[in-house]
């Protein structure tokens, strides 16, 4: 059965461009409830841990450098069918392929600086939420 929670983070390009508020508005208007949220920053090492599944990919080092280049806004979100519905809202990884009206279509600059992350499964949503938030922050 599909879970009710997903994890997202607004990435450094979107935070630096002043798009945090507009993105959060889209998320709330689509019916997601914000359970946890903070403005924070990753070190290169922490970014490497978060994206460890991609460590054999050619873009891994650049991705870690980019993800630690500025502030990010991680969030845990709640809604029925959260993971799938959120991935529909953000659009394809490559903004050139993201459907019209999706967050990446509106705000992303490139396949790397693509404005926002969304978990790809219920299990990863839990792992990724735990990476940023303690039990009391996910209540």
CA distance 11 to 111: 12
Q: Give residue for tokens 């938030």.
A: 133
Q: Please report whether residue 63 would count as binding ligand CMP according to CB under 6 A.
A: yes
Q: Kindly tell me which of 5 and 117 has the beta carbon lying closer to ligand CMP.
A: 117
Q: Is 117 in the site for ligand CMP (CB under 6 A)?
A: yes
- Cα 7 to Cα 32, 56, 79, 100, 112, distances in angstroms: 11, 23, 11, 22, 18
Could you confirm whether 117 is annotated as catalytic?
yes
Stretch in the footprint of ligand CMP (CB under 6 A) among 16-24, 30-38, 107-115, 127-135: 107-115
The token pair at 121 is 């499964």
What does each C-alpha distance from 53 to 13, 49, 50, 57, 70 come to in angstroms? Answer: 22, 9, 8, 9, 22
Six token digits for residue 76: 């845990």
Catalytic residue selected from 90, 117, 128, 132:
117
- Which one of residues 24, 37, 106, 111 is an interface residue with ligand CMP (CB under 6 A)? 111
> What's the closest the beta carbon of residue 112 comes to ligand CMP, in angstroms?
4
Binder of ligand CMP out of 31, 40, 49, 59 (CB under 6 A): 59
Nearer residue to ligand CMP within complex by CB, 68 or 114: 114
List 20, 93, 105, 126, residue binding ligand CMP (CB under 6 A): 93
Residue 53 CB partners (closer than 8 Å, separation 6+): none
For the CB of residue 63, give the shortest distance to ligand CMP in the complex, in Å: 5
């Amino acid at each position: 059965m599909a879970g009710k929670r997903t994890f997202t983070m607004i990435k450094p390009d979107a935070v630096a461009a002043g798009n945090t508020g507009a993105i959060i508005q889209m998320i709330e208007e689509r019916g997601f409830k914000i359970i946890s949220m903070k403005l924070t920053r990753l070190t290169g090492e922490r970014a490497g841990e978060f994206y460890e599944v991609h460590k054999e990919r050619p873009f891994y080092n650049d991705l870690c450098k980019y993800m630690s280049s500025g502030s990010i806004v991680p969030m845990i979100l709640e809604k029925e069918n959260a993971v799938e519905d959120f991935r529909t809202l953000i659009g394809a990884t490559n903004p050139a392929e993201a459907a019209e009206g999706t967050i990446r279509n509106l705000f992303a600059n490139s396949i790397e600086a693509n404005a926002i992350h969304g978990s790809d499964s219920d299990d990863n949503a839990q792992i990724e939420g735990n990476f940023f938030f303690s039990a009391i922050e996910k209540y």
